[in-house]
Structure 1
Amino acid sequence: MTDWNTRTLTVISAGLTQPSSSRLLADRLAAATVDALAGRGITADVEIVELRDHAHALTDNLLTGFPSGGLREVVDRVAKSDGVIAVTPIFNASYSGLYKSFFDVLEPGTLDGIPVLLGATGGTARHSLALEHAIRPMFAYLRAATVPTAVYAASEDWAGSGDRELARRITRAGDELARAMAARERADRVDPYADPVPFEELLARQDL
């Protein structure tokens, strides 16, 4: 039975180290979203995905065209999510290759209409515009419904007055994502691989 008071939230972190600032930001964005959903009487089913754990599987997927093992589970979960948080470190004024590889392997239409909160981390505030000139356009192409507030955290944002401002942005972004998730009409998505055409039927069609 579908629980209409529960929403599925998948959190993607492309941090390369452990721990990483990208994972820290992802955790805080997730917590803010969960709190905002709870304020609306909605329970969150949350899973945090570290892409570094799937790096080899992503390379295999790019070569074969099919996800395997744990990566397949992540891809399936994203397709069924009511909301996604996607956080990347910024390298050379853009998203990381690991981050881009994950969204490259998703089937077309996977993110159609799914609310997405964008986050990024970097060593300096000068890279913050990467969210708008590189990351948001990619999700627009993927037809995701990105929330208005994207959150960038530079090194100086993790302490003192910087952290207070970061906390304010995180709270606002989490509330925007929760609002979009709460309003989303839940529907089961069709897995294109779940009901394959039998091989015998394919042969019969060729004989016609």
Structure 2
Amino acid sequence: MRIVVVSAGLSSPSSTRLLADRLAAATLGRLDAGLEVIELRELATEIAQHLVTGFPPARLAAALDAVAAADGLIAVTPVFAGSYSGLFKSFFDLIDKDSLTGKPVLLGATGGTARHSLVTEHAMRPLFSYLRALVLPTAVYAASEDWGDEGLAQRIARAGAELARFLAPAARDSAPDTTPDVDTAAAIAPPRSSTGAITSVDPADGFQVVPFEQRLAALRV
């Protein structure tokens, strides 16, 4: 099993790469899998050449093949003008239209302010839905003030756990099961008639059963 990380950060070091690394670590902490990281800034020239010529240079071709062959994908971009970066979009414009079909994708984004926190929902999620990928429910956005905050760490852990559970049944089995079994559910649920009406209630639950005749007599007083 192999997970591929695509990071579109432009600087080095990069907060985008840092978020990508932390998402990968959160996933691999629950899953035995190989990992490959693709830094798009190192492929910027090759991406431009491919867009113009239609033929990918060797390094870019290898990156595109790695994404296509991955079992799961982590895609992280910085925010530019309220959306994903042009470099990020250009790379995924080169992906074969069927390469991501059914592939689980974990989304992440970084920005200077929390005002762009919906970029994962308004820009990134529609892009990968168009590519027919299976976008995981939890996407992680990290603003400058989020680093070191416990809330960011919790979101990263939750997102990594989702990807791990999706990829490996063993990871799903190790997660705590909060679904009551049939016997427990039957014990919890109050008895009901065939019409769905509750036929008896335990007073300990805070309910009081008043016979209909008693209620009717009270109305006549």
- Of the candidates 40, 52, 60, which is equivalent to residue 41 of structure 2? 52
Residue 88 (structure 1) aligned with residue 74 (structure 2): no
Unpaired runs of 5+ residues, structure 1, are: 1-6, 38-42, 184-208
Q: 1:178 aligns with which of 164, 167, 186?
A: 164
Letter in 2 for 1:124: T
Amino acid at match of 1:9: I
Report the Cα distance in structure 2 between the residues aligned to 1:127 and 1:54, rounded to whole angstroms. Answer: 26
CA–CA distance in structure 2, aligned partners of residues 100 and 91 of structure 1: 11
The one of the two structures with greater contact order (alpha-carbon pairs below 8 A, sep at least 6) is: 1
Task: Indicate if the aligned counterparts of 1:26 and 1:85 stay in contact, CA closer than 8 A.
Answer: yes
1:157 partner amino acid: D
2:22: which partner in 1? 28
Would you say the 8 A contact 1:25–1:87 is kept in 2? yes
CA–CA distance in 2 between the matches of 1:36 and 1:155?
27
> Which residue of structure 1 aligns with residue 207 of structure 2?
none
Amino acid at match of 1:35: G
CA RMSD in angstroms, aligned pairs only: 0.8
Q: Which amino acid aligns with 1:22?
A: T
Task: Name the aligned partner's letter for residue 146 of structure 1.
Answer: V
Q: 2:124 matched to 1:135?
A: yes
Query: Which protein has the larger Cα radius of gyration, Structure 1 or Structure 2?
Result: 2
Q: Give the count of matched residue pairs.
A: 169
Matching of residues 111-150 of structure 1 within 5 Å: 111-150=100-139
- What is the alpha-carbon distance in structure 1 between the residues aligned to residue 56 and residue 4 of structure 2? 17
| Structure 1 residue identity aligned to 2:146 | D
Taking the aligned partners of 1:49 and 1:78, their CA distance within structure 2 comes to 9
Any stretches of 5+ residues in structure 2 without a counterpart? 170-221
Give 1:46 shift: 0.2
Aligned partner letter, 1:176: E
Helix, strand or coil for the counterpart of 1:131?
A: helix
Cα offset, 1:66, TM superposition: 2.4
Cα offset for 1:29? 0.2
- What one-letter code is carried by the residue in structure 2 that aligns with 1:177? L
How is 1:158-197 mapped onto 2 (pairs within 5 angstroms)?
158-159=147-148, 163-182=149-168
Alignment identity in percent? 62
Instruction: State the AA in 2 paired with 1:174.
Output: G
**Counterpart Cα distance in 2 of 1:65 and 1:118:** 27
CA distance in 1, matches of 2:30, 2:125: 23
The TM-score normalised by the length of structure 1 is 0.80
Letter in 1 for 2:118: L
What residue number does 1:11 align with?
5
